[in-house]
Chain A
Amino acid sequence: MFKKPLLAAVSLIALTALAAQAETIRIAEHRQARIDALKAVAPAIEAKLGVTIEVIEYPAPEKDYMSKLLTELGAGNAPDVFTVPGDSDVPDLATAGYVAPVTEAFAAWEGAAHTFDVAKSLATGADGVMYAVPTMLSVQQIYFRRDVLEKAGISTDQPKDWADLMARAKEIKDKTGQYALLFPMGASWGGGAFGEGFQYMLAGTDTPQLVAAGGKLDLSSTGVKDVLTFYADLVNADLMPVDPLLGPEPWVIPKYEMFPAGQLVATTCGTWCYIYDWGPESKNPIPDVTKAVGTWEVPGKAGGNGHVMVSLNSPWLVNANASPLATQVALELGSVAADVAYASRLGNIPARRDAGDDAEFQKLTALVPVLKAVENGTYLQASAGFSAVSEGVARATEAILRKETDGAGAQKILVDYVTDVLGPDAVQ
């Protein structure tokens, strides 16, 4: 007679005990906007999966974030779920054994069907294993001050090829007296030299990929040389502001100060520029930014179709030592709600099609058309060794910035550096 209530009481106690011991998943996150986004979506994930989420704030500068994270990963003490800046960082963390594969969990996940193919490809390594949850995308191209160009009577048409782009840049400099076009270069921009510039241009050359048939890195290609030569021409013609790029935090002056002031007329950037750099989340916004600032696709070297560059933005990785629940949490960070929370604060593009139906997302008018066009984007397939390539590009472009070398010389710096780091076997 007392059995039922007793049982209920026992199970209630058991449940409470379970709830009290709900597994804690530690998530590394950094920079205020990203932390705000994560904290906004964490309660829903906790409720759905019955976990406790602990957000650990890491240092804001990207380099310090990575130093701390990698030290902890190396020692086996890192958080369960964390991000890396882009897809090019993923293979090297995977070969280090830091990251749990998510291939099967991803396939079984409700979001898999909605995820863009390009995002899946970017998250999948050469071995067919998926080591990253693609949640947000960087969609990058060239952003220019439409208002400045129109006032100066310069064409705002899409440049047809590299020569056209260069000619346009020279015309901007001649007619406005301002810096014309910025590509991130140099050692202190970190991964930016590679991820926010070099790869755009490379995609428009005859040799758009860096991995040769045997899995070796092919850095001696004509495409690499062409990009670096274009860079050298840009710097040598004084079309690009050089001094701020040699100091620490090189993006602050050109992107947050010069561009809004009209002292720099065009720059590479991603959709985040409409929100974070010059838009509503900026401290130095450009009024009516979507009108004042236009976009050009990145032209091919010899013409043909221009392209926008798609890459993973801060993909979520799961610690190899973490429990399976951590993978579920990482996948939930790719839900529409989470994607939109990050998109509205940072201005990146969700990696899934159905985010476009979300009412909150539709308010982000600058991002809506870009989401629709994601599938047309070009991408660069990352592979093991890309950390070294990225650092090598930073060093090569640093030499160009300092006007110490030409395109061929910079290519030699790149090849030598990567060969030194990875050994001669890894490089063709």
Chain B
Amino acid sequence: MTYQSRAQWQLRLILLPSAALLLALVIWPALYAVWLSFTNAALVGPGAANPRFVGLRNYARLVGDGDFWNSLMVTGLFVLGSAIIGQFVLGLVSAVLLNRPLRFRAVFNAIILLPNAVPEVVAGFLWISMLAGGERGVLSRIVMGLGLQPQDWLNTFPLTMIIVVNTWRGIATAMILLTAGLSSVPKEVHEAAVMDGAKPGQIFRMITLPLILPTIFLYMLISTVSTISIFGFVYALTRGGPGGATEILGIYLYNQSFTAYQLGYGAAVAVVSLVFSLIVGVIYVRALKVEV
């Protein structure tokens, strides 16, 4: 055995614990969920005592279930609004601005990172207060200062509000990744452009942006994937309401499995959402050429 092939074997050996743990606690349960999706398994009733194989019945029901399509659409808008637009734009702005020699850089940096460290449930509670209805809620007082009417935010603009909250949570991640991307743009290129008399906007569009594009796509892939599976803070904030307006997939699935007790149907939702995100993932990898 050559030392190279022995080294390759050793590599597999040290990957083994990770692979085994993921297999046992993530992949196996996920496969089990796939099996459940073909049964009438439930948490109560006869489906709990003797789950039966029901073929594609759960999937057939899914296709005709308006609530599921609503949830899929809400999730799409949620990902688009928070991960792809909100977090990205504010994260990019923060990264670009903090890349300049400004005073109080460290302070701004620390404040923007702060929400990222907030546990999901706490994020929910904090924003219950910010978005409280009536004239005494914080956001209402702010808009009243601008001469607008106070609102019952979580009832009137529920989806927008959970997008606002998730954007708040995620600016930091975008900023970290994009700062890193910016720091890999060679200074010389930038300086050469300034010499040539290019305006800052032009430099950003023509030079910086193309150079950090791979970082942007990698960020998009990771943030899209992790936003689809969000559950905790929306559960604490709205539990999917009012009337399904914030019922993102994680919440819809939880409601199917633990409120309606339909495990099999809930599992079918999980499988279909996995397929959808697989498509999204393939689009990112193929069309946008995210490299690994």
Contacts and interface: CB of A to CB of B under 8 A. Distances in A.
A247 B46 CA distance: 32
Given A63-B258, A388-B260, A391-B260, A401 B48 contact: no
B49 A243 contact: no
A421 interface: yes
Interface of B, helix, strand, loop or mixed by DSSP: loop
A398 to B, nearest CB: 6
Contacts of A247: 154-155, 238, 241-242
Interface residues of A, number: 36
A384 B44 CA distance: 10
Interface in A42-96: 63, 66-67, 70-71, 73-74, 89, 92-93, 95-96
A287 interface: no
Given A66-B258, A421-B262, A246 B243 contact: yes
Interface of A, helix, strand, loop or mixed by DSSP: helix
A420 interface: yes
B98 to A, nearest CB: 37
Contacts of A387: 44-45, 261
A389 to B, nearest CB: 11
A67 B257 CA distance: 9
Q: Determine which residue in B61, B241, B258 has the highest number of CB atoms from chain A within 10 A of its CB, and name it.
A: B241
Contact of B241 (A89, A96, A187, A385): A187
B43 A71 contact: yes
Contacts of A421: 260, 262
Nearest to A71: B43
Interface in B28-82: 40, 42-49, 61, 65
A303 interface: no
Contact of A96 (B45, B61, B152, B258): B45
A188 B241 contact: yes
B258 A420 contact: no
Interface string A270-295: 00000000000000000000000000
B169 interface: no
B44 A93 contact: yes
Contacts of B154: 247
A255 to B, nearest CB: 17
B5 interface: no
A264 B276 CA distance: 46
A70 B260 contact: no
Contacts of A71: 43
Interface in A178-223: 186-188, 190
Nearest 3 CB-CB pairs, A to B? A246-B242, A96-B48, A92-B44
22 contacts: A63-B259, A70-B261, A71-B43, A73-B43, A92-B44, A95-B48, A95-B49, A96-B42, A96-B43, A96-B44, A96-B45, A96-B46, A96-B48, A98-B44, A98-B48, A190-B259, A246-B241, A246-B242, A384-B45, A388-B260, A399-B243, A421-B260
